Chains A and B, each alone.
Chain A
């Protein structure tokens, strides 16, 4: 153990005296104690109440009556003759019933099942055929409408191309007409100029 002087002892005691728990810890500890005390009192009251009930003469009489009834029931059960083994009886009955029912069911229901099977087969066959025919109809209808739709689209495309070609031809013809008119004007002007020059030349020669 370390050797310390009195001042050191006092310093440590001072430090100890300055230790304070956090407020949260103090509150938690106090609340916990309070809860414990309150719950304890509740438990005590509950115990007191039960004790008071048990101490009543009527309660004692009722308890004695219940005890006697239970005792009588137990004695009655014990003194009664032993019932047959229910489990064994049940298993024997089950086996017997199972074998007899199996034979009877085979005898009665086998022809009925066979007839029903043939009938079911026919019905199923017819049903399949009906379904296939219906399916084929649906396919044909759908295919026809789709083909018609595609043809309409093709016609529209051809018509659009034809209109575009017409427009191009008309534009070309207009351009040709314009060129022709321009050439005609130039030619006319040329002829006028030639006539005027010819007149001038003839006048000069006569002079």
Chain B
């Protein structure tokens, strides 16, 4: 038990900031991200199967993503976390502009939340965490090609849910992320 405690503290030092940033992006609220972070580590601490997990960081990230989307599903009405969005979508800094932007982001996140399993995790890592497909493949234990396929599946879903009838320029995933 003491060993697990030490490992959890190491995980907190190593990945705490990243997990908090991920939770903030998925919830759009810093206070909720803090609460979910607390809940995440308590769950990890109480988890009976944690000792069998090889990669604690990946396990924690998956749990964080699940917690964030569970929170999105559980709340009935969306409170607006306008202050968390640092870079506005346009130069319009008016309250109305922020409101519209937050609603747009909420719309995307709610659509992603309807997906389950490794597809969602891969998509979040790729498009929200801006990781490269190679890195994601290593962390998920898949090939880069499989990762691209998973991301494409989610993107197609988003197009179906949110988008118009317009098809993407090609059938493959487009690489416009930074990594």
Chain B positions within 8 Å of A26 at CB level: 16-17, 20-21
List the one stretch of A11-19, A117-125, A179-187 in contact with chain B: A11-19
B16: contacting residue among A33, A41, A44, CB under 8 A: A33
In the complex the two chains form, is A10's CB within 8 Å of B24's CB?
Answer: no
Encode contact with A along B25-39: 1 for CB under 8 Å, 0 otherwise: 100101001100110
Most buried by B among A6, A8, A20, A44: A6
A16 touches B105 (CB 8 A): yes
Minimum C-beta distance from B109 to chain A (A): 7
Q: Is A21 interfacial (CB-CB < 8 Å)?
A: yes
Given the complex, which residues of B lie within 8 Å of A6, measured CB to CB? 155, 159, 163, 166, 168
Chain B 135-178, CB-CB to A under 8 Å as 1, else 0, gives 00000000000000000000100110111101010000010111
State whether the Cβ of A30 lies closer than 8 Å to any Cβ in chain B.
yes
Q: How many A residues are at the interface, by size bracket? A: 35 or more
Contacting residues of chain A (76-127) with chain B, CB-CB under 8 angstroms? none
Chain A residues near B50 (CB-CB < 8 A): none
Q: For chain A, residues 29 to 59, give those with C-beta under 8 angstroms from any C-beta of chain B.
A: 29-30, 32-34, 36-38, 40-41, 44
Chain A residues with CB under 8 Å of B116's CB are none
A25 at the interface (CB under 8 A from B): yes
- A36, B166: Cβ atoms closer than 8 Å: no
Q: In the complex, A5 Cα to B84 Cα: how many Å?
A: 25
* Contact B34 A29, beta carbon cutoff 8 Å: yes
Partner of A18 from B45, B87, B159 at Cβ < 8 Å: B87
CB-based nearest A residue for B178: A17
Q: How far is the CA of A6 from the CA of B158 in the complex (A)?
A: 9
Complex-state Cα separation, A15 to B87, whole angstroms: 7
Are the CB atoms of B163 and A9 closer together than 8 Å?
Answer: yes
Q: B5 and A36: CB pair below 8 A?
A: no
Contact yes or no, B34 A25, CB < 8 A: yes
Known: A19-B86, A34-B12. A13 touches B168 (CB 8 A): no
Give Cα A18–Cα B108 distance, bound, in whole angstroms.
Answer: 15
Which of the residues B21, B34, B107, B128 comes within 8 Å of A2, measured between beta carbons?
A: B107
- Inside 8 A of A34's CB, which chain B residues have their CB? 9, 12
User: By the criterion CB–CB under 8 Å, are A19 and B33 in contact?
Assistant: no
B159–A21 touching, CB < 8 Å: no
Is B104 among interface residues, defined by CB-CB distance under 8 A? yes
Q: Which A residues touch B34, using CB under 8 A?
A: 25, 28-29, 32
Rounded to whole Å, the gap between the CB of A49 and the closest CB of chain B is 13
Whether a CB of chain A sits under 8 angstroms from the CB of B130 is yes
Q: A19-B28, A20-B86, A40-B45 are in contact. List 11 more A-B contacts (CB 8 A).
A: A3-B163, A4-B164, A10-B176, A12-B107, A13-B127, A16-B128, A19-B84, A21-B33, A29-B34, A36-B38, A37-B12
The 19 listed contacts between A and B (C-beta, < 8 Å) are A2-B107, A3-B162, A4-B162, A5-B163, A10-B174, A15-B89, A15-B105, A17-B128, A20-B86, A21-B24, A22-B30, A25-B20, A25-B34, A26-B17, A26-B20, A32-B37, A36-B42, A37-B5, A37-B9
A residues contacting B by CB (< 8 A) are 1-6, 8-22, 25-26, 28-30, 32-34, 36-38, 40-41, 44
